[in-house]
Amino acid sequence: MNFQALVKPAVLTQPVYEPGKPIETVARELGLDPAGIIKLASNENAFGPSPRAVAAANLALGEGELYPDGGCFALREKLAQVRGLAPDQFIIGNGSNEIIELLGHALIGAGDEVVMGSPAFVVYKLVTLVFGGKAVEVPLVNHRHDLPAIRAAITPRTKLVYVCSPNNPTGTANTEEELLTFARSLPEHVVAVFDEAYAEYIPQAPDLRPLLREGRNVICLRTFSKIYGLASLRIGYGYAAAETIALLNRVRQPFNVNAIAQAAAVAALDDIEFTTRCRDANLAGLRQLEAGFRKLGLEYVPSVANFLVVRVGDGARVFDALQRRGVIVRPLKPYAMPEWLRVTVGTPQQNDRLLAELARYRDNP
């Protein structure tokens, strides 16, 4: 049976997302002790999950035989209290990735254009292509989104425009004024998607809710994977006008978010002490890595997220050398940055280990 002959032709040319390898896989492939490996590749929270979230998740496991709340009522109510919006202005996804896919289901057809920065989160492009759309990529300037150039790239065929701020993989952010001005300049046939996955790492993150009160075609995405430390539970959310959320719910699968993740997310929103501690520790970690890179004579991009990018020359070679020494980072060749690595902020000890291994590599490649 030739299964390839049965699938849609576009599937055969669809790029595949390549996630970072887990510690156990690297240990098995390279014959290393898993206990001696550190992973600074996937922008996970080095300080673990929210303790309140863990306690709530454990309680929810006691009712594992029941289907989850298909409407995520408790979580939407909690988000409404925290964000000052109405519960029907939130949609909950299996990670914010799912909401990117829902936008594709609802809005992208053959030949439709989707404008995005380059490099930016690769899933925007992947979802665009799988629905038959055309990804229009606008180069960053000084590693930041060039919002005027993105606006100039919009045509009558444009359906969506993505702005990731702070941007993955560069860690840079646009200001609140820049983002608001950009959104207000868009034509009515374009939906602006602001990906705020790392916004909680900014002490005073841009407030884009005025755009909703103005009736703009805007949806903002956030996640519990990063500062809340719940990446394994796959839960995120979008907020927009109630009418927008209602349309996305038409293409959302029932029971798309499990009960354990919902319970953990509700509790995590109350764990202010944890998120404050993580934000402060992350800032200290950024300064630690920046100082270390300067000492090693390595160029880096100042970041406001929980990662930064550093220029090491042959990125693939340095990535491989570090991995063989038990340090997993992210090579950026898939993002057209072959000389760069993306490094997640770790604990002080993990950061020191990374810098020490980079120094050893420099002395003995």
Same domain for 209 and 143: yes
19 found inside a domain: yes
Identify residue 17 by its one-letter amino acid code.
Answer: Y
- Residue 141, beta-bridge partner list: 144
- Nearest to residue 351, comparing CAs of 278, 284, 274, 279? 284
pLDDT tens-digit series, residues 39-81: 999 999 999 999 999 999 999 999 999 999 999 999 999 999 9
Provide mean pLDDT across the span 358-365. Answer: 89
45 found inside a domain: no
DSSP 336: T
Q: State how many domains the chain has.
A: 2
Cis bond before residue 9 (omega within 30° of 0): no
Same domain for 262 and 305: no
Same domain for 331 and 297: yes
Separation of alpha carbons 26 and 330, rounded Å? 13
Q: What is the largest CA-CA distance in the chain?
A: 59
Provide mean pLDDT across the span 217-226. Answer: 98
Same domain for 201 and 348: no
pLDDT at 135: 98
Same domain for 261 and 278: no
What's the CATH code of the domain at 311? 3.90.1150.10
Same domain for 207 and 153: yes
Same domain for 240 and 165: yes
By percentage, how much of the chain surpasses pLDDT 70? 100
Same domain for 64 and 17: no
pLDDT at 153: 98
Separation of alpha carbons 194 and 220, rounded Å? 5
pLDDT tens-digit series, residues 139-185: 999 999 999 999 999 999 999 999 999 999 999 999 999 999 999 99
Structure tokens at 6: 């049965």
Same domain for 208 and 129: yes
| Predicted confidence band of residue 1 (pLDDT cuts 50, 70, 90) | low
46 found inside a domain: no
By percentage, how much of the chain surpasses pLDDT 90? 93
Q: For 192-220, give one letter per residue: b (16+ CB within 10 A) or e.
A: bbbbbbbbbbeeebbebeebbeeebbbbb
Domain boundary among 268, 287, 319: 268
Q: What SS3 class is residue 50?
A: coil
| Predicted confidence band of residue 6 (pLDDT cuts 50, 70, 90) | confident
Work out whether the CA dihedral 31, 49, 240, 258 comes out positive or negative: positive
What's the CATH code of the domain at 204? 3.40.640.10
pLDDT at 210: 98
Domain boundary among 208, 235, 268: 268
Q: Which residue is it, tokens 């492009």?
A: 125
DSSP string, 61-116: HTTTTSPP-TT-HHHHHHHHHHHTS-GGGEEEESSHHHHHHHHHHHH--TT-EEEE
Same domain for 153 and 9: no
Provide mean pLDDT across the span 242-271. Answer: 97
Q: What SS3 class is residue 348?
A: helix
44 found inside a domain: no
pLDDT greater than 80 at residue 106: yes
Mean pLDDT rounded to a whole number for the chain: 96
pLDDT greater than 80 at residue 109: yes
Provide mean pLDDT across the span 259-264. Answer: 98
Full domain range(s) for residue 178: 51-268
43 found inside a domain: no
pLDDT at 7: 87
Main-chain dihedrals φ then ψ at residue 328, nearest 5 degrees = -100, 120
Around Cβ 102, how many Cβ atoms within 10 Å?
23
Q: What SS3 class is residue 293?
A: helix
pLDDT at 12: 86
Same domain for 55 and 17: no
pLDDT tens-digit series, residues 29-47: 999 999 999 999 999 999 9
| Predicted confidence band of residue 348 (pLDDT cuts 50, 70, 90) | very high
Same domain for 75 and 224: yes
pLDDT greater than 80 at residue 234: yes
Domain boundary among 221, 253, 268: 268
